[in-house]
């Protein structure tokens, strides 16, 4: 992509913002004119305003050649961004909140890795170590808790899904948009989750951010809507419905990432071993050693399979899933049989049984790793 010809379209979604729209667009226009090296356009995306916002927006478009207006009859930030980005012909699309809570100095660092093709999406982060943020404790706590949930549940790399300061390569964003269901505040999170799920690179930029004291966002309803969105995406990914056809714009993974796979597999295996041993020790007296091992090992195998498929071998879509499941079941039967035979022959003393389990599980894990790499996930 040629940096001198690259074009960037920045959408400012608005709903009843007559009190701040003029000053914000003037400030944004001045900043882009003075400090932005790419061709640019500002799109004021009015979604169902009932005050003078739309009238003011058209007035600004008359004043400035590079300002356009998009009007929607229905409310929803996600809906406004979808409408604006879907029809864009620019190389990069992005958006920022009309209150300009995010310092505009971060706009060029946000867009630059997209123009060069280094990254696919870029997000401003108020939770990065280099950020400077001024906001109340309630919003800070809710934001940190929400993003912690995303990191724990989806193992995402980005730290801040909610900051109103994002951009993406248009060809990639337009491929992702049909797969995004939300039309409101969860739109951002869903777009980012789908991007990472499909192997795209998300660049994160630390920002200076000052809380808008006049913000009219209903924190409670927004938070509940976000949690419902998280639940929906968990179910979607579990069913293997997160794949998006990127039409050649996806990032090709390394062919043989042996070092990372080995360490990741070992970490997942260590966690699974500790968990399986805990279940074994809890059930041994009631069920006996062999049956307790069956329960503990079977339960952790499901978690182990999911984690290894997603993180060790980085298969996140539905392609080849049933082959992966079939191969993993065969290896599960082998591992369980090996441990059960060992317990039947050498069981009786707790210490001996634990040693038998650790040794047989470790040997079986090595065999499983070799076969998963060379057979199950090589196909």
- Residues marked active site are found at 188
CA torsion, points 207, 168, 98, 18, in degrees to nearest 10? 180
Is 181's pLDDT higher than 90?
Answer: yes
Q: Is the pLDDT of residue 1 over 50?
A: no
Residue 94: in which H helix or E strand, if any? strand 92-96
pLDDT band with cut points at 50, 70 and 90 for residue 311 = confident
pTM: 0.76
Phi, psi of 134 (to 5 degrees): -125, 105
* Number of helices (H), then strands (E), in the chain: 12, 9
Give me the pLDDT at residue 318, please. Answer: 64
Domains of the chain by residue range: 7-238, 258-376
| pLDDT above 80 for 334 | yes
Contact by Cβ (8 Å): 158, 123? yes
Q: Is the pLDDT of residue 2 over 60?
A: no
Going by C-beta distance under 8 Å and a sequence separation of 6 or more, which residues neighbour residue 104? Answer: 27, 28, 31
Whether the Cβ atoms of residue 165 and residue 102 lie closer than 8 Å to each other: yes
DSSP class of 255 = S
Dist. CA 306–CA 196, nearest whole Å: 17
Q: Which of these, 119, 196, 121, 224, lies nearest to 165 by C-alpha position? A: 121
Q: Which fold, 7-238? A: Spore Coat Polysaccharide Biosynthesis Protein SpsA; Chain A (3.90.550)
Q: Which residue has the tokens 């009859």?
A: 73
Cα gap 175→177, rounded to integer Å: 6
Q: Determine the Cα–Cα distance for residues 351 and 56; give it in Å rounded to an integer.
A: 78
Phi, psi of 267 (to 5 degrees): -65, -45
Share of the chain above pLDDT 70, in %: 94
Per-residue pLDDT at 171 exceeds 90: yes
* Helical (H) or strand (E) element with 312: none
């Amino acid at each position: 992509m040629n940096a001198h010809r690259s074009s960037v379209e920045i959408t400012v979604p608005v709903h009843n913002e007559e009190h701040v729209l003029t000053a914000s667009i003037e400030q944004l226009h001045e900043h882009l004119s003075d400090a932005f090296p790419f061709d640019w356009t500002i799109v004021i995306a009015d979604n169902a305003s009932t005050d003078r916002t739309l009238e003011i927006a058209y007035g600004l478009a008359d004043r400035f050649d590079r300002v356009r207006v998009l009007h929607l009859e229905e409310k929803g930030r996600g809906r406004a961004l979808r409408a604006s980005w879907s029809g864009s012909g620019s190389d990069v699309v992005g958006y920022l909140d009309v209150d300009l809570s995010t310092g505009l100095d971060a706009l060029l660092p946000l867009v630059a890795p997209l123009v060069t093709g280094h990254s696919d999406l870029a997000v401003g982060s108020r939770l990065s170590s280099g950020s400077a943020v001024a906001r109340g404790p309630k919003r800070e706590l809710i934001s940190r808790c929400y993003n912690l949930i995303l990191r724990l549940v989806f193992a995402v790399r980005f730290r801040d899904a909610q900051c109103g300061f994002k951009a993406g390569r248009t060809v990639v964003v337009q491929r992702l948009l049909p797969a995004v269901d939300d039309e409101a505040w969860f739109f951002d999170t869903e777009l980012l989750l789908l991007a990472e799920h499909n192997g795209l690179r998300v660049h994160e930029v630390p920002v200076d951010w000052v809380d808008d004291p006049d913000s009219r966002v209903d924190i409670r309803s927004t938070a509940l809507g976000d949690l419902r969105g998280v639940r929906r995406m968990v179910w979607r990914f579990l069913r293997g419905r997160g794949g998006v056809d990127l039409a050649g714009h996806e990032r090709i993974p390394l062919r043989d990432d042996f070092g990372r796979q080995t360490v990741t597999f070992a970490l997942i295996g260590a966690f699974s071993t500790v968990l399986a041993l805990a279940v074994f020790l809890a059930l041994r007296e009631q069920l006996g050693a062999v049956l307790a091992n069956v329960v503990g090992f079977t339960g952790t195998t499901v978690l182990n399979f999911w984690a290894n498929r997603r993180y060790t071998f980085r298969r996140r879509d539905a392609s080849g899933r049933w082959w992966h499941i079939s191969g993993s079941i065969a290896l599960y039967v082998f591992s369980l049989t090996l441990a059960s035979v060992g317990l039947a022959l050498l069981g009786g003393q707790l210490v001996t049984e634990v040693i038998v389990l650790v040794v047989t599980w470790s040997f079986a894990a090595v065999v499983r790793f070799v076969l998963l790499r060379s057979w199950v996930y090589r196909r």
